[in-house]
Amino acid sequence: MPHKPLLSWEELKKVLAGIKRMHNWYMRASFVSINTINMCIPPFAFVSGRETTIVTFEDMWLMMNLERLNVQLVMVFAL
């Protein structure tokens, strides 16, 4: 079952093309049961060497809708 859209149709009309592309990819990926993405954190981002993190689609939805944000989401948003 696909996840709920990151943004409403009205909100999607107002955002940049890159956000629309991400939303479209997210909807297609969730339709085929993908529910996480791996992200590489550049070594210069937090002066800690190259690292990776996993972001769930639930976290992406929370971030796009300015809901509950945890440290991981703030870090991803900062990148």
Cα separation, 60 vs 37, whole angstroms: 10
DSSP β-ladder status, 51-56 and 36-41: antiparallel
Spell out the domain ranges in the chain. 9-78
Question: What pLDDT, in 10s, does the model give residues 32-69?
Answer: 989 998 888 777 776 776 678 888 888 778 877 776 66
pLDDT at 8: 87
* The two structure tokens encoding residue 75: 């870090």
pLDDT of residue 1: 42
Q: Which long-range contacts (CB under 8 A, 24 or more apart) does 7-14 make?
A: 7/64, 7/65
